[in-house]
Structure 1
């Protein structure tokens, strides 16, 4: 089982290093940038491919690790090589796109899959422990499943199958959980700048609280909610809104939008009347 990579960016090189450390054979890297291919090959003791034809001919599994907007173009070029057979496994790493981008290969009968790492790759040298502790989701046409299973099991990857039709909603959820969490934290820090705190001050004081909240959520789910909405403390909510009004409109809008969602989420532990009153407070335009 030889694994070749098309694309030598952060994800491709990090996964190549991980697979090599797990004893899998990396055939090589192909990239538009020769220097990138050379770096990936060096990190995995593999070859630098001069063409897509060579990458396909020398690999049993081809992992397309290029940006999303380049995957369809790569798929079209792979078709033209004529090197893809029914014994191949084609995989891309996009969270948004599904395996349907490889539809041209359905006629050949090879395995076509998307395999999405539920993690970020900030550099090409992401540690093996980080990848091992992360999760991957996959979907595909069901062809050559033994080859896919062998790769995942040999690498000890935590994986979960999803339906192709669920891919976009799955990725939207991932975006909220990861990307928007950063937005939320940064917005909280922006509010604290109004009292003269720099980001480092806010991190020192509040990151322990954020981490404790995550731990509580892992154990209790939405029951971990605390704060004025959970308590039905409408006086405090009104004071927050008044204090936020002179700041950036986006911060007030974010507070009120999240407040409405939180009030509805907390409705099970409060009366319908309390929820209605809180929603009225959050929906009031405050004269803006």
Structure 2
């Protein structure tokens, strides 16, 4: 078993909790970067004693770099850290995006780093409440053969189980999770169909911890529990979801669009998403609506009762 010096860039709800779990498993958290007051508060609460630092300094200090920034920011963060020399040869660079696989870490790999995609199929509050929920959670992971042992160790250290996802199925995998939980509606059948198409042999087990936590948070917090690409304003992630869903699971597009609009309306109204960002997301949803596929004109994906083990 290998212990790492871990640096965290993006101490949001996910980053702070995963880092706390890794620390509990014996890894050293050497530094964390978070720009907002909320992120700095999470570092103090979840990672007491961990110094805050600039992203480049965090990267230089770590032999395992955990990137937990929003999907749309991830390519630029990787490019800037790689170009500056902060990411270095032999370093493990791990991101937690559901949508992205290894391609987004190409700049890091070019300087000799070892890329891993590791996405927890969970919803997070950013507090200690999340730590027991990680136990038995499914992590959607993508890694080359050389990084597979470390990937499996990290998932085990976090208390979870891996679901190996092919590089070209990352967006479909993430769309299944977002459709099933991030809109806080249990359209479980469609979500399991998408995960099955992405290569999961037991989608029900993949989704169960995520949906249980989302339901608990929704009942306790209402709309404040909403997470996901709409709330974050990840325009390109939503666009990618719609492209992949139209190709691989077209029967899910109309309901995704309807629920995305409802979620967008709520988070713009309550001020969590700036109107200018909301308008960009609305344009993506409106453009997709013009090409809606009628449910009766498509054949459903593999029926759950026949191919998905319950």
TM-score by length of 2: 0.55
Cα gap change, 1:261 to 1:142, in 2 (>3 Å): closer
Cα gap change, 1:125 to 1:26, in 2 (>3 Å): same
Give the secondary-structure state (helix, strand or coil) at the position aligned to 1:113. Answer: strand
Superposed CA RMSD? 3.4
**Alpha-carbon deviations, 1:102-160, whole Å to 9, x = none?**
11122223211211111111334343210113110110344444443433333332112
Structure 2 residue runs without a partner (length 5+): 189-214, 220-293
Contact 1:14 1:125 in 2 (8 A): yes
Cα gap change, 1:160 to 1:89, in 2 (>3 Å): same
Alignment of 1:133-212 (within 5 A): 133-179=136-182, 182=185
Aligned-pair distance for 1:12?
A: 0.8
Q: 1:28 aligns with which of 16, 28, 31?
A: 31
Aligned-pair distance for 1:76?
A: 1.6
Contact 2:139 2:155 in 1 (8 A): no
Does 1:61 find its partner at 2:75?
A: no
**Alpha-carbon deviations, 1:198-255, whole Å to 9, x = none?**
xxxxx9xxx9xxxxxxxxxxxxxxxxxxxxxxxxxxxxxxxxxxxxxxxxxxxxxxxx
Contact 2:42 2:126 in 1 (8 A): no
Q: Distance in 2 between matches of 1:145 and 1:267?
A: 32
Q: Distance in 2 between matches of 1:160 and 1:103?
A: 22
Q: 1:5 aligns with which of 4, 8, 23?
A: 8
Aligned-pair distance for 1:181?
A: 6.0
Aligned to 2:132: 129
Give the secondary-structure state (helix, strand or coil) at the position aligned to 1:132. Answer: coil
Q: Distance in 2 between matches of 1:104 and 1:137?
A: 22
Q: Distance in 2 between matches of 1:143 and 1:104?
A: 18
Give the secondary-structure state (helix, strand or coil) at the position aligned to 2:65. Answer: strand
TM-score by length of 1: 0.59
Aligned to 1:103: 106
Tell me which structure has the larger Cα radius of gyration. 1
